[in-house]
Structure 1
């Protein structure tokens, strides 16, 4: 069984994350990419929801959404967020906190082009977080955009990626007698992380 011991920790938390992600996958964890994303308004009112982690790159956690959604609005007002991932199959939790910025248009276009057509159409049909009269309204909107884009589907201008540039990442592992492992990585300067064990 994998344990979080000082002797086996990676110096870079993203290398550690990659190791644990693959471990969870190999152990049969369902939907290991699911993560809770917490945002808040400029006055500090919080909200959270599950989104898909679409990748890790250059010290950032990547996710995609509608810019006009509740989380999109929050991030415009207050570009800071926290995320949490829990893999019950292997009793592991990962938290991260940091600033959030938009991915480039090219990066968002590249990912959007990889989505299946049905999901691309849905990105156009859904005005995320807006009130609609019923499901039939959404289905009709989907059909309208399906007819409009007979061939390739362009990325909606209000849909794309965000990157959370982590400044703190914590790995938690359940242990017997509730003496759980908590390992915190704190970014000191570019590329250098301070690693500390926290009391559970």
Structure 2
């Protein structure tokens, strides 16, 4: 089949101004909970886009680990490529794509590190092998082979036993949104697309052409 011939008609739902929440966080929570209830694969997976000092963008998939009025939280290695890019340019974009529900959520804003207390609490809630893995992987660095990871994991498992501390290079980030977009697929490519833009303490909700 010619890849250009692949297409789908989106007809599962609609998104209009009257039925959507005035607060984008409430709209996001509703859609996230509906994705979880629908048992879509990894509803907590989101694409994170950052921009390096040379203005080249890069993306990767991370997992949301918390959200509230302060923003969207995930955890990672601060020395990784994304960590280095955020250190130089603390603005980023997130995207959730729930294919089965024909929905996309896009979020943009400034990124900050969460507190040490928040990072410690989450780190110690992780399975032991994940905590060891945070020490074992020099994320984004070139390594000679998988044996480097296996050797490092064995080394730190022996060193820390059952109580590995949080590595100083590992912790959480929070994206503080100043713009949200909610996209609902519709028939004939006339999709529903609502944008929320922060204006002071309020959110301006507007419909965008798809």
- The alpha-carbon deviation at position 22 of structure 1 amounts to 1.0
Asked if 1:193 is matched to 2:206, the reply is no
TM-score, normalization by structure 2: 0.92
Report the Cα offset of residue 151 of structure 1.
2.7
Partner in structure 1 of residue 3 of structure 2: none
Tell me how far 1:137 sits from its aligned partner: 1.4
Report which structure shows greater RCO (CA 8 Å, sep ≥6): 2
What SS class does the counterpart of residue 100 from structure 2 fall into? coil
TM-score normalized by the length of structure 1: 0.97
Mapping for residues 1-200 of structure 1, pairs under 5 Å: 2-190=13-201, 192-200=202-210
Counterpart contact for 2:13–2:185, Cα < 8 Å: no
Equivalences, count: 199
Structure 1 residue ranges, 4+ long, deviating more than 4 angstroms after superposition: none
Alignment gaps of 5+ in structure 1: none
CA contact (8 A) 1:100 1:162 kept: yes
Cα deviation code 1:69-96 (max 9, x no counterpart):
0000000000000111100110000001
Unaligned runs of 5+ in 2: 1-11
Q: How far has the Cα of 1:2 moved from its partner?
A: 4.2
Question: How far, CA to CA, are the matches of 1:183 and 1:172 in structure 2?
Answer: 7
